[in-house]
Amino acid sequence: MTGRADRPPLTCDTGDPVCGAPARPYPAGPRCDRHRPRTYRPE
């Protein structure tokens, strides 16, 4: 693959099993609204 991706379908890669929800790109990786680094709180 070359060049910048044109909006790949990001999915949250956090959780076990993986969340898989629609996500946005963060420095730490794709995170959904629930798993944003600032709001992420494991139960």
* Residues that bind Zn ion in the complex, under the rule CB under 5 A: 12, 14, 19, 21, 32, 34-35
10 or 21: whose CB is closer to Zn ion?
21
Closest CA to 23 of 34, 6, 39, 43: 34
CB 1, min distance to Zn ion, A: 24
CB 3, min distance to Zn ion, A: 28
State the DSSP H helix or E strand holding residue 29, giving kind and residue range, or none if neither. Answer: strand 29-31
* Cα 11 from chain centroid (whole Å): 5
2 or 12: whose CB is closer to Zn ion?
12
